[in-house]
Amino acid sequence: MTEIRLLVSLSISLTFTAFAASSDFDARVCLAYTDSKDRKNCCNELGVPADKCGTDNTHQSPISNDLSKESDPTIQSTSYSQIGKTEDSSWAIARRFTSRIVIPLGRSREEVKATLERAAKELMKKTNADAIMVFAYRLGDPTTGMYSAGQAIYAPNGKWGDAATNSPKKISIDINNLYFALPDHTVKTGDTISLQNSTNTYVYISTKYGSWHDIDIVARVPNGTKAIILERKFEPIGEEEFVRYRIRTIGSGTNYEGWVHKSDTR
């Protein structure tokens, strides 16, 4: 009988400890809001006790944890916008969901991390999945490819592939330094540029943004050919932007319109 009481006591203690840790984490996420209304809504959504949500004058809760020590008071916002619907990537033996979000520019690394953590927690709470993944992008970036701001995985061991295991769940974060890069304003639509290939004496112009096969080449023009930029298109590739321009050549003779690599321009 004594052993049973001890086991029950231990079970209650562990449950309370797990709840307290989860509550503290959710509180840290909600306390990132400087607006009291947004903070209150966040606490209500995540079930954070009122005494951990702070007040209008003391929204920085005296919770002792590493994240608050490193980020407070730098973190001022963890808002984000979801792009499209949550994607179901489930297996037969594991429920997995993916979400794509946009994070406003101008945030610190700590703020981006807190935003990803919040998005991961909220999606997990909504879906009760075995694993979730959040792709985050900068405003204006293509949202169908690689993330340009960061990624969060909330899953057993913090690994997407471990969704079917019974290991403890945790959040793993990967932040793309491209989020912090200064925007490229060197050229814009309507500017005149010079086509210049560093290894050849000519530049290929393609009719397609993503293909340079022989059938796609509309012209091969000599280095130094002038052109007007009609459109700028880019996509994140690792921590860099892969940029191409749709141009129209100008000058005497036949003028061509198509796509060129940024690296082939001056």
Q: Tens digit of pLDDT for each residue in 90-101?
A: 999 999 999 999
The pTM assigned to this predicted structure is 0.59
Domain 77-180 of CATH type 3.30.43.10: no
State how far the Cα of 3 lies from the Cα of 28, in Å rounded to an integer. 38
Q: Are 247 and 258 in contact (CB under 8 A)?
A: yes
- Best CA proximity match to 183, nearest among 145, 141, 238: 141
pLDDT tier at 37, thresholds 50, 70, 90: low
pLDDT at 152 over 70: yes
Domain ranges of the chain: 14-72, 77-180, 192-264
